[in-house]
Amino acid sequence: MRTQHHPARDDIKLSDIFYALSDPSRQSIIKELAKKTVLNCKNFELEVAKSTLSHHLKVLRESGLTQTRQSGTMAFISLRREDLDARFPGLLDAILGAYAKEEQDASGA
């Protein structure tokens, strides 16, 4: 099993989180992860090259937003809810709530 770098909970930085969230593709990944908890990286509904997806997943992992568990040729990705809630209480929920509001407003609801 390959081990990939994940920042320790206390080393998660807001500037890294916000940088990770500044990209629309990474925003889509976070929204998917919020709904499905864990995703095989082949299951993302993103129409980008595999290398681009790998880059986005690396930025998300290194920001502390996600964790990647590698099992053979499969990678399982999930939000680091527990760590994020401990480090920055309420922030992840506020971000996910804001995404929902933005989608709702865009759909004219």
Nearer to a copy of itself, 4 or 23 (CB): 23
The window from 23-31, 35-43, 64-72, 74-82 that contacts a copy of itself (CB under 8 A) reads: 23-31
How many residues bind a copy of itself, per CB under 8 A? 25
Q: Encode 10-40: b = buried (16+ Cβ within 10 Å), e = exposed.
A: eebeeebbeebbeeeebbbbbbebbeeeebe
- Which residues touch 88 (CB under 8 Å, ≥6 apart)? 12, 14
Within 46-105, the residues that bind a copy of itself by CB under 8 A are: 87-91, 93-95, 97-99, 101-102, 105
Q: How far is the CB of 27 from a copy of itself (least distance, A)?
A: 6
Burial classification of residue 65, based on how many CB atoms lie within 10 Å of its CB (0-12 exposed, 13-18 middle, 19 or more buried):
buried
Nearer to a copy of itself, 48 or 102 (CB): 102
Of the residues 21, 34, 41, 46, which one makes contact with a copy of itself according to CB under 8 A: 21
